[in-house]
Structure 1
Amino acid sequence: MKCNSNEDLQQIVNEVRFLAKEGNVADYIPALAKKNKSDLAVAIFDINQTCLYAGDYTKKFTLQSISKVLILALALQDRGVDYVFGKVGMEPTGDPFNSISKLETSIPSKPLNPMINAGALAVTNMIQGENLAEKWERIMSFVQMLANDKEINFDEEVAQSELETAMLNRALCYFMKQHNVIEGDIEELMQLYTRQCAIEMNCFDLARIGAVFALNGLDPKTGERLIPSHIARICKTFMVTCGMYNASGEFAIKVGIPAKSGVSGGILGVVPEKYGIGIFGPSLDSKGNSIAGQKLLEIIAAKYDFSIF
């Protein structure tokens, strides 16, 4: 399916692009420091098989924390709701996404939710497979299926860059292993997690995945069930409560749709029963969210009455 340029969307992109200069790219990951902070693009995938875009919607970016939603969906299918949430909580947090503090003070010591790094690492640890290669193959096949694109792969440079600098994530893993939240080899888990975060796609692919969630797990083209409906609902709920890091409450008020951001500048948006949205704008605010991308979504949501509330 081809995306069509839309003048209204392009006008909004032009209006908010200046905000990018107020933020910064995620330079703590060396490979992401090279990105052009002025990039901004959006694709909106209608469940009735039309697509609109503005900006360079084919430019690729890595998913980073957006992958947490997709891996949660796969882990819930692999392990079931009771197992997953026996090890990871369901509550939002006002702490930064990479914080270790709640692990130290919570009893039992488990991550508050699957959208912070500790929770996402625990969830990735649940993916079934005999070894790293088998687990990775299952993750890639699942993501390719959701996007209907077998060409999707991961950026090896970004994955390696993250692997070499992920000392805090390693600390989270060892803390959780001490408390029996995760098991197995930590370095193997880190390889799997950094590859997962480095999965690369464009706004169209991301919007198409959003359309699957908009349809509660159904393929928008074939009607085939790709994700059980109760799992799609759980994932969308976490997107509302925790998807925009510790700015999720403000985002829910201003925009009002399930969304998940990543520090590459991507945002996955879902308008239930209507649209999937993919946004890319690598300049970030202090919370780690695309600064122009959020404003773009806010204006679009207000103009087209997207809010679920």
Structure 2
Amino acid sequence: MSQEQMERLTTLLPDWLETSRLHTSQGKVASYIPELAKSSQDALGIFIADSQGKVISAGDCGIPFTMQSISKVFTLILALMDHGEEAVFFNVGKEPTGDDFDSMIKLELVEPGIPFNPLINAGAITVSSLISGENPQEKSERVLQFFRKLAANDKIDYNLAVYESETESGHLNRSLAYFLKQNGIIKDPVDDVLEVYFRHCSIEVNCADLARMALVLAFDGVDPCSGEELIPRRYVQIAKTFMITCGMYNASGEFAIDVGLPAKSGVSGGILTMVPGQYGIGLVGPSLNKRGNSIAGVHLLERLSKEFDWSLF
């Protein structure tokens, strides 16, 4: 991060964030997972990190939140590291759906019934079944340790209240999993697969953790702070492509046009994004638009991308 850009960001970001915060009143906090309904609607925070250890933050970036669908990016990467591309994409496709993230429609209409991509719920449930381990506990522990390594924070853990809330209320996810089981897409018992899935969605982070994980992706799998390769470059390439095409649910095309960065959102209001080769960015804003993305977060990222010419396109 150049000194000039550092100074501009430091000066402008707090005011821009407060302008974006005004948009929180136009959205709603997710309530279909009861524990998420407790989130503050007007919260908004952002954390930006570069390869030299420089950071800029503004707003409520210290509040904890669960990763939800953001975790799908990293479980996909872990499954690829465990089994390789051929095995993973035998079970899940590579295309956007244009449907809601929890829709079952395409599973029923399209042969052979595999999920369209790894970032919709059916795809992420399938990917969760591909994580190596003898049982759900071992698989979940591998996921947690992988996330801790990427975030350089060994204190990251599950939010058990959210995990239990997801387990108790996840009837549609359970339906998706049974459909996948019926079609032979997942082999393990449904409850075992869903335990892994619900657990990784309930891993609790803050914006700094997301920014650090994003920074590894921004540098093609290498932790720029240590120089260690944590992820093979090819798998980062795959993950970032899915983030562009599917990462913001069925608003991914709109986000690509307006912001132009690889990103993944979650219904807790988190957004992980990056400027490749430059920055990792973590954001939280629990008030969601109709597509399930942070309404104020998207507004803030669009302004930042246009002001600093971050779009890849």
Quote the sequence identity (%): 50
Q: Find the partner of 1:270 among 270, 274, 282.
A: 274
Match of 2:97 among 67, 87, 93: 93
Q: CA deviation at 1:7?
A: 3.2
What CA distance in whole angstroms lies between the structure 2 residues aligned with 1:161 and 1:62?
12
Q: Does 1:212 align with 2:208?
A: no
Question: What runs of 5+ residues in structure 1 fail to find an aligned partner?
Answer: none
What amino acid does structure 1 have at the position aligned with 2:175?
Answer: A
Deviations 1:50-80 (A, max 9, x none): 1100012111110000000010000000011
Partner of 2:3: none
Structure 1 residue 10 corresponds to structure 2 residue 14: yes
Aligned mates of 1:169, 1:194 — CA distance in 2: 10
Are residues 1:258 and 2:266 paired? no
Alpha-carbon distance between aligned partners in 2 of 1:48 and 1:308, rounded to the nearest angstrom: 22
Secondary structure of the residue aligned to 2:32 is coil
| Aligned match for 2:125, one of 97, 104, 121 | 121
Q: Distance in 2 between matches of 1:183 and 1:50?
A: 45
Which position in structure 1 is the counterpart of 2:108? 104
Separation in 2, partners of 1:30, 1:69: 24
2:288 aligns with: 284
Q: Give 3-state SS (helix, strand or coil) of 1:277's partner.
A: strand
In structure 1, the partner of 2:148 is 144
The one of 230, 235, 238 aligned to 2:242: 238
Query: Which residue number corresponds to residue 193 of structure 2?
Result: 189
1:63 aligns with 2:67: yes
Provide the secondary structure at the position in 1 that maps to 2:288. Answer: coil
d(CA) in 1 for partners of 2:176 and 2:106?
Answer: 11
How far, CA to CA, are the matches of 1:53 and 1:303 in structure 2?
Answer: 17
Q: TM-score, normalised by structure 1?
A: 0.98
Q: Distance in 2 between matches of 1:252 and 1:206?
A: 20
| Residues 1:164 and 2:168 aligned together | yes
Aligned pair count reads 307
Which amino acid in the other structure matches residue 113 of structure 1? Answer: N
Who is 2:36 aligned against?
A: 32
Amino acid at match of 1:121: I
Pairwise CA distance, 1:181: 0.7
Alignment partner, residue 50 of structure 2: 46
- What is the DSSP-based 3-state SS (H/G/I as helix, E as strand, rest coil) of the residue aligned with 2:281? strand
**Corresponding residue SS for 1:150:** coil
CA distance in structure 1 between the aligned counterparts of 2:228 and 2:175, rounded to whole angstroms: 41
In 1: Cα distance, 2:10 partner to 2:189 partner: 48
Residue 40 of structure 1 aligns to which amino acid in structure 2? L
> Deviation of residue 267 (structure 1)?
0.1
Q: Which amino acid aligns with 1:33?
A: A
One-letter amino acid of the structure 1 residue matched with residue 91 of structure 2: K
C-alpha separation between the residues in 2 aligned to 1:273 and 1:158?
34
Question: Could you list the runs of 5+ residues in structure 2 that have no partner in the other structure?
Answer: 1-6
